[in-house]
Structure 1
């Protein structure tokens, strides 16, 4: 049985029973999220509950670092200012190490999305500098990367991530193979397997397979129809919640073969038609099979704030989880 790395992102507000249910199946726990200042400071996270629970279960707790400012808001402007300033980057690297040592974390996971294209190389250098300082001390350095299909892919979420250079540096790279179906987008599977394959085909051409973690969604969306671009906002929901809703409305769950994902439609009490795309035991198994097919290091779940037993059931049926 193949042994794989499994990571999962969690907020400190996670229900204790949900966290304890997930921990036996995790290698890394991503504590979401620490933030940054333009000068290279680290915005702390009150995550002692996550750290303690992780170590008790033999899981490595990681500092997830995103461009959150001191108000808790994602701020790409701050990220650009920081990345453009070599001294600020050095300050950040030193502050990362101090925070990890002070709190007893196992390492850092960089999750900088929408990196300005002009700061693409600066971001590589930040990760490289961090690895050079933290690696010799036994800390892990990982990064989450946008789901690209080529290096030339256009779009603000893609252009700032250099797969090859970042892949050379980090211990593991999580490829965010989810959010095709998303809050403001048209109804579709969150992680359609035909699209995931395209991303993995590119990823393995740039990053060593033994470093790649494939993103796994632990949620679905409910869209009210008709979809109106710029107006429709899908409701995010757990897979368990989706099953409950299908049952409540007496909806038939249909499995889409192309995307390898389930969906159903229903009419609410006001007569509005809805469509729900989510994950079930079949879609989970189909995605997890790609780890073996592509010979990847493992998977990373976004996120583990809800517990869906099928995730654990299929994971343990197919693989053994690595404990470091």
Structure 2
């Protein structure tokens, strides 16, 4: 694969000649609005047969010979890909490039929201080859722990099955459109209500032929930290042998009394769940100052803590398919799909910048005398995130959410990863 960052004076025709790839293929791979629509700083994914090198983090006792055997390559090829690395002086913790014919095997999950009109986002079909699971975001529960469907989910379940994607019932503590901590605290803290919730979720799973459950309980009160783990054990037993997937807040240390993250006991949750999705998103958030949604330096700090508490083979990191646009100085935020953010930069004719430390693209524009700053994702930023996933030997990634277009991501996954179905 290749990545081309557009420079002043570049044209798609010249870029296509350089890489021997048609203009039409470049336009399609990157979701460009037209062959003439490029701006300086735009990162283009150039479709090629060769896939990306693997990233491997040196462990105590490793030798280049043992690493080469694991990845189906040679010591000479590894040395050629890593100038400055000496076979006799490997540094534990250093990430090295591995030219390997083996693709990283991943378990992926995309979140999908049912539409009010019953139609299904066409992005599901585009993303399906890159997905192991789809979590259908359609369920909440009452104060007595009775699960309730908020939308018709049967058409999406059927489509997922037809597309060879395993559908999961997603249960959330949503009330009046927002996550409700007291609601989940009330249910988890009452043995009867808690068991009723596990039972009623399991009933929907059997009734609608779901492949399992994805739990997203946010703002779990710290006092109910242990109750949440009890619920997960009861739910796992109720849906066995189906999959239990749990989404947890990102954090870099355990602060049991923190009102946002304290209710999630990483170690205990990791012992119960089959897969744990660490929500490495919302570093830049609605209501806060302009920042990347998933800066890679912060993401790594979260993963360092996560793998110290949960087996890496159970962990998924989160990848945003969305962008945030801050109006200044009010910091009012508009959210768009990554593709829409890319193409907004093109329509405004602005130069796209790239934060190397955070591995994230951004740009500024002006509209109606109001300055805006946009943080989004591109092929460079997702490569950095997938390399982290590989180097920490995680299970895979999750994507919020599938109605949002990001063609570079799906093409990258198809070309460079082996998705477990």
Once residues 133 and 180 of structure 2 are traced to their aligned partners in structure 1, the CA distance between those partners, rounded to angstroms, is 26
Aligned to 2:106: 4
Aligned to 1:53: 159
Question: How far apart are 1:153 and its partner, in Å?
Answer: 6.6
TM-score with structure 1 setting the length: 0.94
SS at match of 1:166: helix
SS at match of 1:100: helix
- Which of 360, 364, 372 matches 1:274? 372
Counting only pairs closer than 5 Å after superposition, residues 198-237 of structure 1 correspond to structure 2 as 198-226=301-329, 228=330, 232-237=331-336
Counting only pairs closer than 5 Å after superposition, residues 149-168 of structure 1 correspond to structure 2 as 149-152=252-255, 155-168=258-271
Count of matched residue pairs: 315
Residue pair 2:136, 2:170 contacting (<8 A) in 1 also: yes
Within the alignment, does 1:184 sit opposite 2:290 as a pair? no
Aligned to 1:67: 173
SS at match of 1:234: strand
Aligned to 2:146: 41
Within the alignment, does 1:246 sit opposite 2:345 as a pair? yes
SS at match of 1:283: helix
SS at match of 1:273: strand
Gaps in structure 1 of 5+ consecutive residues: none
Gaps in structure 2 of 5+ consecutive residues: 1-102
SS at match of 2:107: strand
Change (3 A) 1:234 1:199: same
Aligned to 2:57: none
Once residues 33 and 188 of structure 1 are traced to their aligned partners in structure 2, the CA distance between those partners, rounded to angstroms, is 30
After superposition, the CA RMSD in angstroms is 1.4
Question: How far apart are 1:77 and its partner, in Å?
Answer: 2.0
SS at match of 1:19: helix
Within the alignment, does 1:299 sit opposite 2:397 as a pair? yes
Question: How far apart are 1:318 and its partner, in Å?
Answer: 2.1
Once residues 104 and 283 of structure 2 are traced to their aligned partners in structure 1, the CA distance between those partners, rounded to angstroms, is 29
| Moved beyond 6 Å, runs of 4+ | none
Once residues 189 and 15 of structure 1 are traced to their aligned partners in structure 2, the CA distance between those partners, rounded to angstroms, is 29
SS at match of 1:263: strand
Which stretch shows the higher mean deviation, 60-69 or 199-208?
Answer: 60-69
Question: How far apart are 1:152 and its partner, in Å?
Answer: 2.1
Once residues 114 and 386 of structure 2 are traced to their aligned partners in structure 1, the CA distance between those partners, rounded to angstroms, is 27
Aligned to 2:298: 195
Aligned to 2:382: 284
Larger Rg: 2
Counting only pairs closer than 5 Å after superposition, residues 94-133 of structure 1 correspond to structure 2 as 94-133=199-238
Change (3 A) 1:154 1:91: closer
Aligned to 2:196: 91
Once residues 96 and 124 of structure 1 are traced to their aligned partners in structure 2, the CA distance between those partners, rounded to angstroms, is 16
Question: How far apart are 1:15 and its partner, in Å?
Answer: 4.2
